[in-house]
A and B are shown apart, each in its own frame.
Chain A
Amino acid sequence: MNLRLAIFKPMLKLAMERTGHGAALGFKITKIGRGEVEMMFPYKAEVIGNPVTGVVHGGVIVSLLDTCCGSAAITTLTSAAVTPTMDLRLDYMHPAEPHKPIYVVAKVYRNTSNVMFCRGSAWQDDPENPIAHCVATFMKVETPSISLTNIIRRRFNHLIRGAKAFEKEADK
């Protein structure tokens, strides 16, 4: 297995499952591979979109597929970069059933120097009978400041500065 992916997997899981909207919805990343990510969303009554049928709102499926496609895009990176979404197109094949988890899979099917093309699908019982299908494109914006070595360098400089200030204080 790729070492970079091994370090990266828990970081991605942490970012997607433990913070912000992913944590609020209760997303679970079930599989991470290079250019392919699978996720799961357990049913939640707080996000019902149709009070008559109890079906979750389409916005949840947008969030799921956006997160899943975005994660898949990140796994293909070979340098420090951020991957903002350019656009996302969703087709709803049939409504989700209430009280059942939703599974999502996303794949990067074309990776160019500036743009990543992704597709994803969401299903409940049968992957061959999806509730929604999506295509999404992501930009690749090189951001050297977020590379691991630069983060460590900044932390180290911060510590040195702190130590120097402490020495100065002690000399007085």
Chain B
Amino acid sequence: MSDALKILQESLLKARAESSPQQILDLIPYSNFIGVEAKIEGADVLYRMDRRPSNIGNPSLPAIHGGVIGGFLELSAAIEILYTLDVNEVPKVVDFSLDYLRPGRYKTMYANCTVLRQGRKLVNVSATAWQDSSDTPIATARCHFLIN
């Protein structure tokens, strides 16, 4: 087993034991690049992405890049699997379907995820992103992940 895999698996156990999904995010450089944070809220994990200039897609509005919203939701879904399910490798994304409902304004964005079904090999996760209130989502995603 490689060192990186060993570090990942130890961190996963530690993160679950300490109820700290942020520790899993810290292992993934992409989360730092777009600025995603996670914290426990009630029984769920709440994902947050603060605004930053490198996430802008349209500078004249300004609006968050559609790809960043996709990346944020895909990352949140993967963390949800790593944190809530008994999986000890980074899940492989198979497909990802994203509906944009409202423009992503240049401010903090939140997301939460639901594991809709877990099979032996495949997991289906839905993720929703919002800014002002969870009643007015800006994007919703469905994705399939392969797990070992």
Contacts and interface: CB of A to CB of B under 8 A. Distances in A.
Contacts of B100: 84-88
Interface residues of A, number: 38
A20 B56 contact: yes
A2 interface: no
Given A20-B57, A20-B59, A49-B90, A60 B30 contact: yes
Contacts of B27: 51
Interface stretch (B40-48, B68-76, B114-122, B126-134): B68-76
A50 B100 CA distance: 26
The residue among A20, A53, A70, A91 with the most chain B CB atoms within 10 A of its own CB is: A20
A95 interface: yes
Given A50-B90, A92-B93, A95-B92, A21 B68 contact: yes
Query: On chain B, which size bracket covers the interface?
Result: 35 or more
Given A21-B56, A67-B67, A45 B97 contact: no
A21 B54 CA distance: 5
A64 to B, nearest CB: 7
A86 B67 contact: no
Interface string A83-116: 0111111111001000000000000000000000
A59 B74 contact: yes
A66 B67 contact: yes
Interface in A113-153: none
Interface of A: 15, 19-24, 45-53, 56-60, 62-67, 70, 84-92, 95
